[in-house]
Amino acid sequence: MQEITPEQATATPMPRIGDLAPAFTAQTTQGLINFPADYAGKWTILFSHPADFTPVCTSEFMTFATMQDEFEAYNTQLVGLSIDGLYSHIAWLRTIKEKMVFRDMKNVEVTFPLIDDVSMNVASKYGMIMPGEATTQAVRAVFVIDPAGIIRTILYYPLALGRNFDELLRVIKGLQTADAFDVALPADWQPGEPVIVPPAGSCGTAEERMTNSGDDVECIDWFFCTKELSEQQVDAAIRVS
C-alpha cells in the first residue's frame, strides 16, 4: 500500500472555493475521463472515499447511487475516487449490487464513474490526503464544481463519519438557486423557504430597502431583508428533468 508523507501531501497547494477545478485524465469504472472538460455545462460532485470494501464507504455509495436520479434532475453528475485500483473498484461495486443491504436499499447498481487513483495523482491535486488522519487513504472530501469548472463548495469529513447526502443535494439546489435568483440562502434553507436579498453590499435603512426593492421584500433591519421564493419557482428555474 502506497503511503504519503506530510511533505508530499502539502507539496501541492489545496484548491479553494472560486478556483478552476484542477484538470486530470483518469481511468474509471466507466472508462477514461478527462476532468472537468468532459463535464462542461453540468454541475459535478467529485468525492473521495477512504477505501473499497469498507462499511461506511459502502453505505455512502449505496446512498449516493440511490439518489443519483435526484442529482441528475438538477443537472448534476457524480464522480467518486479512492486510491484503490480499477479491479478492486469493480469487485467492490459487484459485491454491493449482489450482496449488500443498507436501510431499505439493496441490489444497488453504481453507474457513476469511480476513479482508479492508485498513483494518488488526483487525490494529491485535490488535497484529499490528510496525513494526520491517514497516510494511505483519502479522507471523505467533496468538491462541488459548477458548469464552468469552478469549485463552488468544498466539504471534508474524517474517516469515521459518513456524509449526509441530503445536505449535498441541498448544497446543489442552494448554489443553483443563489445563481438563478441572485439571492443568498439562510441557515438550514430548504426550497420553498424565504431567501435573502440581495446577497451583499446593500445599504440604506430597512424602510428604504423595502421601498426600493419592491413589495415582496421584507426587512428586519437594513442588513437583513428576505423575500418569498416558492418551491415551484425554484424548481422551474433549476430542475432539468
Min dist. Cβ of residue 49 to ligand BEZ (A): 7
The Cα–Cα gap between 16 and 28 comes to 25
Q: Which residues of 10-27 are buried (b: 16+ CB within 10 A; e: fewer)?
A: eeeebbeeeeebbebebb
Stretch binding ligand BEZ (CB under 6 A), from 36-44, 46-54, 93-101, 185-193: 46-54
Q: Which stretch binds ligand BEZ (CB under 6 A): 35-43, 54-62, 113-121, 202-210?
A: 54-62
- Least distance from C-beta 16 to ligand BEZ, angstroms? 26
Active site residue 57: yes
How far is the C-alpha of 130 from the C-alpha of 5, rounded, in Å? 9
Contact 173, 201 (CB under 8 A): no
129 binds ligand BEZ (CB under 6 A): no
Does position 1 interact with ligand BEZ (CB under 6 A)? The reply is no
| From 6, 13, 55, 186, residue interacting with ligand BEZ (rule: CB under 6 A) | 55
* Residues 111/143/131/161 CA torsion (nearest 10 deg): -70
List 57, 203, 219, 225, catalytic entry: 57
Q: Tell me which of 9, 45, 57, 219 binds ligand BEZ, using CB under 6 A.
A: 57
Q: Which residue, 62 or 151, is less far from ligand BEZ as judged by CB?
A: 62
Burial group, residue 104, by CB count within 10 angstroms (0-12, 13-18, 19+): exposed
Contact 17, 154 (CB under 8 A): yes
Active site residues: 57
> Which residues would be at the binding site for ligand BEZ (CB under 6 A)?
50-51, 54-57, 137, 159-160
